[in-house]
């Protein structure tokens, strides 16, 4: 039942996207000492949502866009700091900041989902 409501699909997609981003941050941290490893990042959900094709979600008014099919694709980070002597570009400080940002994105998606459920419960009278 809840899968047919756009609010729940979008908030579920945002939570899944945040999980993908967190996994990429964890991979970067795990490879912080790997010679030649290039740090990778996944764009925030808002950016991928705005850049997506209009075929996946129903647009109810001008300006509504949908999530891109390839939004979970990791890409090399644009020129950050200097690579270490072994060629590794992972900055642990930057990854920790990214981790906090992703956690906030995930919490926001879950809060939207939870509030949507609360509204449905109120409407049904439970």
Domain boundaries, the chain: 2-124
Mean pLDDT per segment of 10 residues, for the chain of length 126 residues?
75 92 93 90 83 54 50 57 84 93 95 91 85
Of 54, 66, 55, 60, nearest in space to 17 by CA? 66
**Taking each helix axis from N to C terminus, what angle separates 92-124 and 6-30, rounded to the nearest 10 degrees?**
160
pLDDT of res. 83: 83
- Tokens 């409407």 sit at which residue? 123
pTM across the whole model: 0.73
């Amino acid at each position: 039942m809840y899968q047919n409501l756009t609010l729940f699909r979008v908030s579920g997609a945002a939570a899944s996207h945040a999980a993908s981003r967190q996994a990429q941050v964890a991979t970067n941290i795990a490879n912080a000492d790997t010679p030649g490893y290039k740090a990778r990042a996944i764009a925030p959900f808002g950016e991928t949502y705005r850049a997506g094709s209009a075929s996946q979600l129903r647009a109810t008014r001008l300006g509504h866009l949908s999530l891109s099919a390839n939004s979970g694709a990791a890409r090399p980070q644009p020129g950050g700091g200097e690579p270490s002597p072994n060629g590794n570009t992972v900055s642990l400080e930057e990854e920790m900041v990214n981790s906090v940002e992703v956690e906030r994105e995930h919490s926001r998606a879950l809060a939207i989902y939870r509030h949507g459920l609360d509204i449905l419960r109120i409407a049904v009278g439970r």
